[in-house]
Structure formats: structure tokens, C-alpha cells
Structure 1
């Protein structure tokens, strides 16, 4: 089993980088990433594929919320996506190789591969292989994760040397309406941790008291959590979690 880089346990992790729309730093943008590096924070980013299979740094499945265009993200080529401006700044959508070159190992990276099956099922693989290929020359601290355990298994096959984990939560129906009820019920108990060779979970902060989280921690799993938005939430989460993913404020100090 691989191990999570120590820096991902000591540097608070900026959710979608250190984004702040008032300061022209949209989420997952180069500006937000530069700001996180300057502050010494770890960085969490999201990966979606272009139509031609290039891993792009972008959260949503649709373009509308974050750009002035709309429509499915994955129906556009990498060239077209790289020309689309992000709202609130003069930047465009970056590729994963661009962001890896920008970070250059200066702070740890936590990379979430977004589900491409649509229902957290087995129709995955190409994006995971593309991410692994982009990471081949990268020697900075990095870890990979996904809500979809099939994706984490695909990452294990494509990049066995890279630390990987499961993004986990309560899988409530309101937020996961496209996922079958039986699948949601199964995933709540995090049954795929051992099968995927995971070394950590990144769990929903207000569900950290779930018994399975304590069980995994007792077995040696690193426990990260998302998304912390106040110092008070930070203090509460750290009673259980080893580190936090945060947004909307800046933790006053790097926690040891």
C-alpha cells in the first residue's frame, strides 16, 4: 500500500485552490493556484475530460456556472476548452499538465477525478489513464481520489505508485439523485477501501462521526475531510480528521 505524503497531513488543503471571486480567483484557476502556493497551502483540484481525452482542471459537468458558455464539458475539445474564459477573471480553463508545471512540487496536490460513469458505476478508465500519463514526469507530493471506487481501482492499475483514496460522504438522495438507492446505501459504509488499495479517505465533514470512519482510522487510514468554511468547523473536524479541505476563509496557521 502507498502512503499519503506527509505534507497533505500538515498543510491545510485549499478546496479547488485558494479561490475568491472578489479577488478574481475563480475555483480551479491558475490565479487561485498561485495564491495557494504563495500562502503555503495544499491544493485540491478537480479533473474532467475533454472530448479528445485530455484531463482538464474543472469541477462541473456543464460549462454554465463557471464560464459564459453552456453545454456538457466533455463534448468540447481540449483546444476549444482552453479558449473558454472563466467567469470573473481573464483566464481560460487549464489542462492538468499546465497546472502540474505551475505547481512544480512547491505544495502538495490532491487531485479528484470526477465520476464519468454517471452513477458511480464501472464505465470508467480512459480519464484515469490520462491522469496517470500526465503525472508520469511529476515528482512533487500528490495523491489521487474519487467518489467512484471503480475510478480509484482504475487509478491503482494505471498509477500503482501514486497514493490514492476514496472521497466519501453520506450519499443522501438529494445530492445523489442519479445514483441508484442500493449503490448509495452500499457506498455509505465505504466497503471498497481495502479492494482499491486506498490509504486515505476524504470524508464529508458533517458526517465524520460515522462509525466506519473511526474504524478506518483505527486501521491506519488517514482521514481528510471536506469542506470546512469557518475556524469553528475546523476545530470541530480536527477532533476526528487528520487534515481539512477548506474554502471561504484562510486558516491562520499551518497545523502540525
Structure 2
């Protein structure tokens, strides 16, 4: 049986990469941004990458340059090194998933995106999914997992069938996604939703008019979306989406 996305994920807006604001020394996916989102009562979306010793780190990019000023892939350093690699505009390093779980502690819902570790949305996955599930053992809070790579979602279904899971989806433009045309053409139709027993999608906001999204919505599938950057964009997205992932402004709480 596919675990349903908890209703709490359809209530408070979800802060994209946590409630980040460089002007307040809160870079994306940082401890400070996590704490700020909790304090504001928002849901939190975070990204996971793995280190050379296969630990799940809360970090978006494959290369560390943009976020730390240190060049090279995060996969080539250890978790201990990552924790001491200082984030730009922050006083601390890259957090582990375990640390973030301790900070959130079930206070707000946590939407976790596992970044594709295969490189081409293929089947070379496993270590990141395993450490994610390890970290979540005993976690008492609303959590949902997702990935662009449906094979990652399938692996999560295999090793943690009790955890809600979904697919991150988009318009799949080859130049944007750095993927071959054939792979983009295949993934654009969200073909793996049923195969991996997903319970929701988080779709690119500009592409919400896609017929496949309407088809899933008509089946009762919760539709999240990314990334909303203004109240005007949010109002438009909510014509289709059940909730938004936002950044760059303070989304209004419902009610």
C-alpha cells in the first residue's frame, strides 16, 4: 500500500531550501535557514547530496563552489570535511541530515529531495537512499521524500515502504536539465508515477498546465509545486497546485 502524503504538507507553505535570506546570514539549506523556517511555522524543503563516505548532507549542488567557495564535488569529500567546509554567508559548515532532523524535531513538516546520484536519471542509486532512511529511523515528525530520479524513489519504496514518497517533476528542457533529448522526452510525461508507488508530485510551477498534471490531480494526487517567488505567482500556481514551495518573500499562512 502506498503511504499517503500527510495533510500537513498541504497546509502551511513550504520554504524552498528552508527560509533562506543572505542579507540575514541565512544561506539556503543552512542551519540558520532551518531554524528560521521552524520559528515562522513554515514547512521546509531541503536537498540531499552524499559524501565520499556515503553520508546524507543537506546541500543542493553537486559542486561546492557556488555555496562554499570551495571547488569540487561534494561527493569527493567526507562528511567530516563537509561539516567543516564553511557555507558562504554563514558561520558554520554543511549540515548533515541528522543535524537538521534534530533541529526540526517534528515541529514542522519536512520535504526531503534526494538529488539524482546516477547522473542521467538511471539506476546507479542506493547509498544516499540508505543513509537517508537510516537517519530517519525513529524520527517523530511529518516527513516526505522525493527525487527527480524515479529509480531513487523506487529504492526508497523498497527499503522504507512506510515513508511517503513522490516524484519531483518539470518540463524537462534538455539544455536546462543537461540530459539527452530522449531522456527528457520520456520523463516529461511522468511515466513512473505508478511504478514507484508515488503518492504526490512536486512540479515546476511554470509547467502546471501540463495535461499529465491535470490527469494526476483528477485522480486525487496531491500536487505541490516549485519555486514560487512572489504572491502573484503563488495565486496563479494555486489554481492547480495544492501547496507551494516558495522563496524570496514570506508566503501567507492559510486561514
The TM-score by the shorter chain falls in which range? Answer: over 0.9
1:217 and 2:245 aligned: no
Aligned partners of 1:176, 1:7: CA distance in 2, in Å? 30
Q: Give the aligned partner of residue 245 of structure 1.
A: 245
Q: Give the secondary-structure state (helix, strand or coil) at the position aligned to 2:217.
A: helix
Q: CA deviation at 1:68?
A: 2.4
Matching residue of 2:138? 137
Q: Distance in 2 between matches of 1:15 and 1:251?
A: 11
Residue correspondence of structure 1 range 120-159 to structure 2 within 5 A = 120-159=121-160
Q: Is the 8 A contact 2:125 2:152 kept in 1?
A: yes
SS at 1:66 equivalent: helix
> Per-residue deviation at 1:84?
0.6
Give the aligned partner of residue 59 of structure 2.
Answer: 58
- Give 1:158 deviation, angstroms: 1.4
Q: Which runs of 4+ in 1 moved over 3 A?
A: none
> Residue 205 of structure 2 corresponds to which residue in structure 1?
205
Deviations, residues 152-176 of structure 1 (Å, cap 9, x unaligned): 0011111110000000000001211
Match in the other structure for 1:108: 109
- Compute the TM-score of the two structures, normalised by the length of structure 1: 0.98
Q: Deviations over 1:74-106 (max 9, x none)?
A: 000001111110000101100000100110000
| In 2, Cα distance between equivalents of 1:205 and 1:40 | 23
Cα displacement string for residues 6-61 of structure 1 (whole angstroms, at most 9, x for unaligned residues) = 11100100000000000000000000000000100000000000100110000000
Q: Distance in 1 between matches of 2:167 and 2:192?
A: 8
Q: TM-score, normalised by structure 2?
A: 0.98
Per-residue deviation, 1:69:
1.0
Q: Report the counterpart of residue 11 of structure 2 in structure 1.
A: 10
RMSD across aligned positions (CA): 0.7
Find the counterpart in structure 2 of residue 236 from structure 1.
236
2: CA distance, partners of 1:169 / 1:222: 15
Query: 2:174 touches 2:180 (CA, 8 Å); kept in 1?
Result: no
Q: 1:188 is matched with which residue? A: 188
Q: CA deviation at 1:180?
A: 2.1
Residue in 2 that maps onto 1:255: 254
Contact map agreement 2:114 2:129 (CA 8 A) in 1: yes
> Which residue number in structure 2 is paired with residue 23 of structure 1?
24
* Paired positions, count: 254
Unmatched 5+ residue regions in structure 1? none
Shifted more, 65-74 versus 202-211: the winner is: 65-74
The answer to whether the Cα contact below 8 Å between 2:223 and 2:243 also exists between their aligned partners in 1 is yes
Distance 2:225 2:146 in 1: 12
Q: Which runs of 5+ in 2 are unaligned?
A: none
